Amino acid sequence: MKRFRVKSRFDDRLLYGYILTLVVGLVMLYSTSSIIAESRFGSHLFFLRQQILWAILSLVAIYVIWRLDLKKVAVVSAPALLLTLVLLSLVYLMPARNGSHRWLMLGPVTLQPSELFKWLMIIYLAFSLSNPKRNIADLKQLLFPYVLIIGLALGLILFEPDLGSCVVIFVSAIGMFFLAGARLKHLLTAFVPPAGIAAFFVFVVGYKKDRILDYFAAVVNPLEGSYQVKQAALTLGSGGLLGTGLGEGRQKLFFLPYPHTDFIFAATGEEIGLLGLLVIMGLLGFLLLRGWKIAVAQPDRFGFLLGAGMVWLLFVNIAINIGVVTALLPVTGLTLPFFSYGGSSLLASSAAIGVLLSLSRRVA
């Protein structure tokens, strides 16, 4: 077993990059949400105030996680993951929002258990797959107990319904198994049955079938896709190279659905243009690159899998959101980490940064 020590300093470049990204995200959130906030809640600051509170909570979470011994935390990741399954079951007792049961409403606080499950799943898999007694090359040890736990979560989230989170969890889990050294044929064995089940639900049962058909239409021509896809394409296109100016976007005036959540990337592109979007993608890319460098510098297998898993989780969320906005993927309802409005998403994404900052203190 490799020994390591914990230094007092952490990767300050990752922290500064995160804070800069968070500030830019708050600015763009206000710019894209102020009109809707004024219309719905009588205050143009409504969404910004809520997000600032979650941002403060996220900073506190980062500090707490940075101080933790992640190896000791990982020991209780399995029961914590099982508790999250209970929370995923409780969402069905909550009133539906936009036709979905995704949130636990605890007074003024609204939590999305699927975001917590993503984060805990990475910790659990990193701890379990780094166990020297587990032979990841053995198909039986690859499937059990992972298929049972992850499969149950996917089933609960699928019927919320939240197809986007299902995709993120599935792809993130496959990525973790690949990083741990699972055989390609075993990964294909694990991939084919869920793909078949998904195809059955879409094309036979009709689950999200319209979205899939709209996607195929949008691949040929974005303006032939669903209303959301068309408006996103028009919003991005109207921004041009430099954009219309901060706060001057027109599509957020009730043309583009969810300009401050799912489609904030499009609404932002209209106001700051292609060059502005490249800067934002550069910020996100910087966070991923710093995270990956921290992961590969880890002195043990657990640290590598945990760091790489957190980076992969963030990348999958970012890639799917941008893919949806640019009509490369079907509409999923996923938010853009650090930018979209949503406390659970911001907290979970920030917690991933907290894990990476904590790992950056571990040296051989």
pLDDT at residue number 141: 73
Residue 320 near residue 25 (C-beta atoms within 8 A):
no
Residue 167 CA to its chain's centroid (Å): 10
Q: How far apart are CA 58 and CA 355, in angstroms?
A: 12
Task: Return the pLDDT at 253.
Answer: 84
pLDDT, residue 230, reads: 80
Report the pLDDT value the prediction gives residue 219, as an integer from 0 to 100: 65
Whole-Å CA distances, 133 to 76, 83, 137, 229, 252: 18, 25, 12, 48, 54
| DSSP code of residue 326 | T
- Cα 120–Cα 125–Cα 127 angle in degrees, nearest 5: 95
Give dist(CA 110, CA 197) in Å, integer: 31
Domain boundaries, the chain: 5-363
DSSP helix/strand/coil, 329: coil
pLDDT in tens, the chain (364 residues): 455 566 657 889 999 999 999 999 999 999 999 999 999 889 999 999 999 999 999 999 999 999 888 988 899 999 999 999 999 999 888 887 777 778 888 777 778 899 999 999 999 999 999 988 887 777 777 777 888 888 889 888 888 878 888 889 999 999 999 898 888 877 777 667 776 776 676 666 555 666 677 666 666 666 666 777 788 878 888 888 999 998 888 888 878 888 898 899 999 999 999 999 999 999 999 999 999 999 999 989 999 999 999 999 999 999 999 998 888 888 777 899 999 998 889 999 999 999 999 999 876 5
- pLDDT value at position 270? 93
Q: Which residues contact 65 (CB under 8 A, 6 or more apart)?
A: 351, 354, 355, 357, 358
Helix, strand or coil, per DSSP, at residue 106? strand
Residue 79, preceding bond cis, omega within 30 degrees?
A: no
How far from 243 is each of 23, 68, 251, CA to CA, in Å?
A: 20, 43, 12
CB-based burial of residue 45 (10 Å sphere; 0-12 exposed, 13-18 middle, 19+ buried)? middle
Q: Which residues, other chains included, contact 287 with Cβ-Cβ below 8 Å and sequence gap of 6+?
A: 14, 17, 18, 21, 314, 353
First-to-last alpha carbon distance for the chain, in angstroms, is 11
Which residues are CB-contacts of 241 (< 8 A; sequence separation ≥ 6)?
Answer: 273, 274, 275
Question: What one-letter code names the amino acid at 187?
Answer: L
**Do 154 and 194 form a contact (C-beta atoms < 8 A)?**
yes
- Indicate the pTM of the whole model: 0.90
DSSP per-residue string spanning 278-294: HHHHHHHHHHHHHHHHH
Q: Do residues 321 and 336 make contact, with C-beta atoms less than 8 angstroms apart?
A: yes
What pLDDT score does 1 carry? 47
* Coil vs helix vs strand at 271: helix
